[in-house]
């Protein structure tokens, strides 16, 4: 479902703002964005504290926060490359969410500290690598440059409100397992894992209707514009 090239010749009007605010896709994508941004912001803000709870000294803790982000940067480019090559976004977003699910499940468990540290890699890689694809997914499916501009601003701006939850869910008294923080993070990830497949299903239904309309038009000798 890709209609990003439609409406490129239009002139700005207030209706484009209204169209963005009333499009179900925008609010759906905001919800999915929050499902990633909330847990990701939490683990990012409190990663030094979480690693320190594994028993490492402060200097070692600071050093150990670096490798997860290095790995996340590499995987982000891999995801972006193959997402563009395959012209698909949702599989990579789902993969990132599943990685977050695995990582938080490891960290909420009683696994050894070394395994939990590995879990932080999985969370950060999955979260950061899926965000660009999610933003692109939104842009690909909003028709018209002005509606798309407003819609993506809403998507990213309101989606980042998920970080507000992250600032209060990791409490010092919950150390070292941080059951509340990791539990809330898992809840958000679960929301994403539910709504991404639902969105894919809806888009497939829309595409199927478009394909059917195109076939009927061709049978009648008509020509319709169709972007998929």
What is the 8-class DSSP label of residue 23? -
Residue ranges covered by each domain of the chain: 14-219
CATH code assigned to 14-219: 1.20.1250.20
Q: What is the pTM of this model?
A: 0.87
117: which 2 tokens?
A: 């540290």
pLDDT, position 213: 81
Residues 6+ apart with CB under 8 A from 117: 51, 54, 64
> What's the pLDDT tens digit per position in 90-147?
999 999 999 999 999 999 999 999 999 999 999 999 999 999 999 999 998 988 888 8
Are 180 and 53 spatial neighbours (Cβ–Cβ below 8 Å)?
no
121: which 2 tokens?
A: 């890699």
């Amino acid at each position: 479902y890709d209609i990003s090239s439609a409406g490129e010749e239009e002139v700005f009007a207030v209706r484009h703002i209204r169209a963005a605010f009333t499009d179900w896709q925008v609010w759906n994508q905001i919800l999915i964005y929050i499902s990633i941004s909330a847990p990701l912001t939490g683990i990012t803000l409190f990663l030094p504290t979480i690693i320190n709870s594994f028993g490492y000294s402060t200097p070692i803790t600071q050093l150990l926060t670096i490798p997860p982000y290095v790995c996340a940067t590499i995987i982000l480019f891999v995801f972006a490359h193959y997402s563009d090559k395959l012209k698909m976004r949702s599989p990579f977003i789902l993969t990132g969410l599943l990685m977050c699910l695995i990582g938080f499940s490891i960290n909420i468990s009683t696994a050894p500290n070394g395994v939990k540290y590995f879990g932080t890699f999985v969370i950060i890689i999955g979260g950061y690598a899926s965000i660009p694809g999610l933003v692109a997914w939104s842009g690909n499916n909003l028709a018209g440059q002005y509606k798309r501009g407003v819609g993506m601003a809403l998507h990213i701006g309101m989606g980042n409100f998920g970080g507000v939850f992250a600032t209060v869910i990791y409490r010092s008294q919950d150390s070292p397992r941080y059951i509340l923080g990791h539990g809330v993070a898992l809840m958000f990830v679960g929301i994403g894992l539910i709504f991404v497949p639902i969105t894919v299903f809806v888009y497939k239904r829309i595409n199927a209707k478009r394909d059917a309309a195109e076939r009927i038009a061709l049978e009648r000798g008509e020509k319709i514009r169709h972007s998929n």
